């Protein structure tokens, strides 16, 4: 057998494909330079670019209200306050999600109830959600993790059947362009957020978006995140108009240059997503006989993922996962163990007891309080591997990746 590169053998991949994102063209640069030359660097001076961004998404998602903000985290924070989450309110959240999905809730003093994942997936378990919903549940938060859509329609139907009034908020930060039954994520729940951070399929470097169906929630969100100008122009509710001058506390609006960068890529977004799906099909063809890993291509047949990255489950128990990854890295495969961890195990939640956050919280000694196990997300987090979501891989490059996996698999006894 060919000697592993980890032990001095020849690498399986001579030149590892470069992962570079986003794709910024000369016309993109010219467009942003023109914005600077025209002094479009503040919403309060010129709002056209931000207006254009919001209109793009309202048409794309067929949703009535949209607010462009400076990050997905700000969009979450604004959404939680706008719908009235306050101390003691029950909110069901996925444990397997990015921390920013949940952390803003501690500032409201919400009663955070963690739900497990489906077996061998990064998605919240609908069955576990059903077990944990009560008449007191105010919000169910779902994350379309890694670009794989949650079947929000099933949750909505079940809530309606059992006469529960909980709202549903979709965290679409990693999933723009994904679909359930042909319907885009972001339009399945009552509210949704997107992120335009650099790693995202559609990016402005930084930035976020809040999607809302309810007009009052939308006007509250304006008071929370845009100061004066927009409040005076758009708020029609007489109870809310008295706060137009002061606002309700924050300045979360997006920078026009970030909005301009997103707008420049907007027409290319579907092509970007299709290219990732094309790459996934090549991976599926080339990795169908590698027993050590299982490629996660599609979780539910009625869904269309958009692939935030390419994910593999490591299913071989004979060799430690870190040693396996080390061997692949040596062969030229830029794969890593996913860094996402179940939040219910994190120390911050051992001390959080539905009291609003203050800095005194940091003075408390962290305890090793036992967390109720959520077996599926804990297990998944320990065996999931991540490869960058390349835009322009060739068939030959995918085959090289597969051959590197096969080489390590054939030599796995040397890794024990």
DSSP single-letter state for residue 300:
S
> Taking a C-beta distance cutoff of 8 angstroms, is the pair 133, 103 a contact?
no
pTM for the predicted model, two decimal places? 0.95
Pairing of strands 167-171, 191-195: parallel
pLDDT at 358 (0 to 100): 74
How confident is the model over 123-133, as a mean pLDDT? 98
DSSP single-letter state for residue 319:
S
Domains and CATH numbers, the chain: 5-20+269-415 (3.90.1150.10), 26-266 (3.40.640.10)
What is the DSSP track for 147-212?
GPPP-HHHHHHHHHHTT---EEEEE-TT-TT-EETTEETTSSSSEEEEE-BTTSSS--BSBEEEEE
pLDDT at 146 (0 to 100): 97
DSSP single-letter state for residue 71:
B
Return the minimum-mean-pLDDT range out of 171-175, 255-259, 346-350.
Answer: 346-350
Structure tokens at 159: 């809530």
* C-alpha–C-alpha distance, residues 307 and 296, integer Å: 10
pLDDT at 349 (0 to 100): 83
* C-alpha–C-alpha distance, residues 266 and 147, integer Å: 17
pLDDT at 44 (0 to 100): 86
What is the DSSP track for 327-368?
HHHHTT---EE-----GGGSHHHHH--S----GGGGGSPPP-
How confident is the model over 274-286, as a mean pLDDT? 97
* C-alpha–C-alpha distance, residues 401 and 371, integer Å: 39
* C-alpha–C-alpha distance, residues 275 and 391, integer Å: 6
* C-alpha–C-alpha distance, residues 371 and 349, integer Å: 9
Place 273 in a pLDDT band, splitting at 50, 70 and 90: very high
- Strand, coil or helix: 314: strand
Place 357 in a pLDDT band, splitting at 50, 70 and 90: confident
Residue from 98, 104, 99, 65 nearest 85 by CA? 104
Q: CA 259, 265, 271: angle at the middle one, nearest 5?
A: 150
Cβ within 8 Å of residue 202, ≥6 positions away: 176, 177, 194, 196, 262, 265, 266, 269, 272
- List phi, psi (to 5°) of 310: -100, 125
* C-alpha–C-alpha distance, residues 50 and 67, integer Å: 9
Burial class (CB in 10 A: 0-12, 13-18, 19+), 182: exposed
Looking at the DSSP assignment, which residues form a beta bridge with residue 8?
Answer: none
pLDDT at 277 (0 to 100): 97
Write out pLDDT tens, residues 132-188.
Answer: 999 999 999 999 999 999 999 999 999 999 999 999 999 999 999 999 999 999 999
Residue from 267, 243, 369 nearest 59 by CA? 267
CA dist 216 → 161, 221, 285, 331 (Å)? 26, 9, 49, 56
Structure tokens at 412: 């796995």
pLDDT at 1 (0 to 100): 67
- Strand, coil or helix: 139: strand
Q: What is the 3-state secondary structure (H, E, C) of 271-294?
A: HHHHHHHHHHHHHHHHCCCCCCEE
Write out pLDDT tens, residues 7-62.
Answer: 999 999 999 999 999 999 999 999 999 999 999 999 888 999 999 999 999 999 99
> Taking a C-beta distance cutoff of 8 angstroms, is the pair 174, 194 a contact?
no
Count of beta carbons in the 10 Å neighbourhood of residue 51: 13
Place 225 in a pLDDT band, splitting at 50, 70 and 90: very high
């Amino acid at each position: 057998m060919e000697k592993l590169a980890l032990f001095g053998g020849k690498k399986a991949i001579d030149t590892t494909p470069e992962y570079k994102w986003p794709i910024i063209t000369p016309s993109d640069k010219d467009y942003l330079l023109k914005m600077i030359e025209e002094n479009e660097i503040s919403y309060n001076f010129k709002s056209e670019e931000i207006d254009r961004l919001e209109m793009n998404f309202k048409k794309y998602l067929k949703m009535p209200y949209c607010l462009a903000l400076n990050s997905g985290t700000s969009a979450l924070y604004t959404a939680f306050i706008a719908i009235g989450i306050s101390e003691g309110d029950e909110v069901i959240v996925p444990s397997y999600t990015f921390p920013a999905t949940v952390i803003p809730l501690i500032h409201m003093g919400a009663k955070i109830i963690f739900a497990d994942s489906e077996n061998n997936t990064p998605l919240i378990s609908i069955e576990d959600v059903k077990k944990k919903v009560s008449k007191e549940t105010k919000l169910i938060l779902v994350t379309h993790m890694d670009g794989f859509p949650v079947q929000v329609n099933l949750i909505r139907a079940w809530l309606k059947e059992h006469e529960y009034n909980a709202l549903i908020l979709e965290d679409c930060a990693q999933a723009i362009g994904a679909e359930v039954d042909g319907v885009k994520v972001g339009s399945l729940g009552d509210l949704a957020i997107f992120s335009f951070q650099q790693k995202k399929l559609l990016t402005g470097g930084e930035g976020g978006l809040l999607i809302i169906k309810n007009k009052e929630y939308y006007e509250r969100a304006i008071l929370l995140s845009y100061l004066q100008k927009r409040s005076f122009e758009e708020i029609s509710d007489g109870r809310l108009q008295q706060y137009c001058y002061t606002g309700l506390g924050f300045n979360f609006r997006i920078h026009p240059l970030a909005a301009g960068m997103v707008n420049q890529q907007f027409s290319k977004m579907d092509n970007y997503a299709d290219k990732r799906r094309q790459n996934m099909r090549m991976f599926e063809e080339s990795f169908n006989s590698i027993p050590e890993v299982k490629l996660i291509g599609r979780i539910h047949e009625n869904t269309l993922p958009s692939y935030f990255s390419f994910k593999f489950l490591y299913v071989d128990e004979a060799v430690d996962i870190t040693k396996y990854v080390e061997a692949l890295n040596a062969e030229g495969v830029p794969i890593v163990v996913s860094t996402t961890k179940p939040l219910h195990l994190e120390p911050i939640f051992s001390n959080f007891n539905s009291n609003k956050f203050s800095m005194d919280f940091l003075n408390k000694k962290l305890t090793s309080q036992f967390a109720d196990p959520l077996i599926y997300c804990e297990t998944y987090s320990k065996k999931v591997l991540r490869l960058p979501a390349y835009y322009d891989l060739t068939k030959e490059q995918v085959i090289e990746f597969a051959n590197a996996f096969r080489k390590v698999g054939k030599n796995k006894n040397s890794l024990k």
